[in-house]
Amino acid sequence: MAQNVPDLIPIRAQTLQSCAKEAVSEEKGQKLTSDRFDELSMQVAEAVIALVTKKPNACLGLPTGATPLRMYVHLAKLSRNKGVDWSQVRCFALDDYLNADDDETFQSYLEENLYKHLNLDQSNKHNPRFVDNYDGLIADCGGLDLTVLGIGTNGHIAFNEPSTPMQSWTHCTWLEDSTRIHNEKFFDDPNEVPKTGVTMGISTILASKRIILMAFGPEKKTIIEKAFHDREPDSDIPASFLLLHDRVNIFTDFDLEL
């Protein structure tokens, strides 16, 4: 399917280490611990608020799962307390399950945890399950201004599992067993975890003007360091393709050795 999308010109970041320092204390020797999860979630929420305030019709790429939950709580509270107007903001879910009950989809997650708390227009709640040419829609809206990501323990971003090529746009995919096992906690019956999904591609994500990657907990430290420490981007760890972007910020609650 032909994509109405802008040309992607990969630009290698100087390093991701400088970006990661935004989440690391400037006081020498002080390491971050999980008790900073709330503070860092607030920082990401504030970054989103700053963008929406500056650009009322901003386009956002939004994640789901456990990692961004606290950020969404802060985002809703800040929006209410500051009177932030979301009526023109365009929100694009990063991915979603195929063949899942409606109440178990990522669209339902975003509605429950974020959308219902904002004055977001129904027509601006976009999801790749319901759009044939998601990348064309994003391009028609001016492109993603900010994409917020989590990372899987196997290095996936959105549902771009290992072996996903860089030159991939929105597509359907099979989910790896490790991804499905990790997501079992969100289902009453582990056997109900879908085996397929639809996701923004690597190129879709890299076309975003700015990217924030959130990674919390010791289980994410290993994959973060594998993805970004002294390596070239490759499809074995899809998150490593973020090295090609020049505006990536990593927020972690652990010290990084990059």
Confidence category of residue 223, pLDDT binned at 50, 70, 90: very high
Burial of 204 (0-12, 13-18, 19+ CB in 10 A): buried
Catalytic residue among 74, 113, 127, 156: 156
Confidence category of residue 11, pLDDT binned at 50, 70, 90: very low
Catalytic residue among 133, 154, 176, 225: 154
Separation of CA 208 from chain center: 11
pLDDT at 14: 37
Could you read off the pLDDT of 76-88 as tens digits, one per residue?
A: 999 999 999 999 9
Judge whether residue 205 has pLDDT over 90: yes
102 part of the active site: no
**Per DSSP, which regions of 100-240 are E strands?**
125-126, 146-149, 171-174, 196-199, 211-215
* Average pLDDT for the chain: 87
For the beta sheet containing 95-97, the strands, ordered from the edge strand earlier in sequence to the opposite edge, are 95-97, 196-199, 171-174
pLDDT at 231: 83
126 part of the active site: no
Domain ranges within the chain, ordered by starting residue: 33-252
Catalytic residue among 160, 161, 183, 253: 161
In CATH terms, 33-252 corresponds, of 3.40.50.1360, 3.90.400.10, 3.40.50.300, 3.40.309.10, to 3.40.50.1360
pLDDT at 17: 38
Catalytic residue among 74, 95, 127, 171: 95
Could you read off the pLDDT of 23-46 as tens digits, one per residue?
A: 333 332 233 334 588 999 999 999
Could you read off the pLDDT of 135-193 as tens digits, one per residue?
A: 999 999 999 999 999 999 999 999 999 999 999 999 999 999 999 998 998 888 888 99
Distance CA 13, CA 11 (A): 6
Query: Percentage of the chain with pLDDT > 70?
Result: 86
Long-range CB contact pairs, 29-38, < 8 A, 24+:
31/254, 31/255, 32/252, 32/253, 32/254, 32/255, 33/253, 33/254, 34/216, 34/217, 34/253, 35/253, 36/253, 37/70, 37/216, 37/253, 38/70
161 part of the active site: yes
23 vs 110 pLDDT, higher one? 110
